[in-house]
A and B are shown apart, each in its own frame.
Chain A
Amino acid sequence: NAGVMQNPRHLVRRRGQEARLRCSPMKGHSHVYWYRQLPEEGLKFMVYLQKENIIDESGMPKERFSAEFPKEGPSILRIQQVVRGDSAAYFCASSPFEKNEQYFGPGTRLTVT
């Protein structure tokens, strides 16, 4: 059973471009969480999704950031018009049920130049 998969693992974008980060949850998992980790910091919760629904987006910046988890395919975290402050590691986690243990993917390291 493959673990949580994220791609790309590394992404470089110039200021103003768009970044698309993908997350494929573990097989059988329908709950996906996105977290952001700034250098030397802990992870910060961004958004929690189930298939086709955003359940909790209380940690998402109000502008430029969006997330989706379609019926088919991976979850996508989209950052429009990236700025240098968006440079961070973005981790996705999945779980089979609500309130269950979350399993983390390898992360996508975004660098904005």
Chain B
Amino acid sequence: ELKVEQNPLFLSMQEGKNYTIYCNYSTTSDRLYWYRQDPGKSLESLFVLLSNGAVKQEGRLMASLDTKARLSTLHITAAVHDLSATYFCAARSGGGADGLTFGKGTHLIIQP
């Protein structure tokens, strides 16, 4: 059974700082997703990572995937207040199962 663990679950940081959110998954996954969720809102897709060594960047966010270590990271560079949200990673086990397995989320607060 695929399990996804994120850490930290809660992160408070100051504007301008850098930080990394980690996402470990337990069994082989054929793709890894990162989503953002604002309070009371739906999930916004940030990145889809398909292969080992994949790196994607959008603005101050960069995601990477190491399939051998079963690890994905979401790196935040020079954080700004607008990035405050909950970030989820999700993996798909592949094969016949198409549902995603989510981590518990990282609640990120960026203080001015």
Contact = CB atoms under 8 A, between A and B. Distances in A.
Interface stretch (A11-19, A41-49, A73-81): A41-49
A101 B98 contact: no
A31 interface: yes
A45 B99 contact: yes
Interface stretch (B11-19, B40-48, B52-60, B71-79): B40-48
Contacts of B30: 99
Please classify how large the interface on chain A is, using the bins under 10, 10 to 19, 20 to 34, 35 or more: 20 to 34
A33 interface: yes
B31 to A, nearest CB: 8
Contacts of B43: 43, 91, 104
Interface in A25-43: 31, 33, 35, 41-43
B99 A58 contact: yes
A98 interface: yes
B100 A102 contact: yes
A96 interface: no
A87 to B, nearest CB: 15
A99 B98 contact: yes
Given A45-B99, A48-B99, A99-B94, 10 more contacts: A42-B4, A42-B90, A42-B105, A43-B43, A45-B100, A56-B96, A59-B99, A101-B48, A104-B35, A106-B41
Interface of A: 31, 33, 35, 41-48, 55-56, 58-59, 91, 98-99, 101-107
9 contacts: A33-B100, A41-B105, A42-B105, A43-B90, A44-B102, A47-B99, A48-B99, A55-B98, A56-B97
Interface of B: 4, 30, 33, 35, 41-43, 45, 48, 88, 90, 92, 94, 96-105
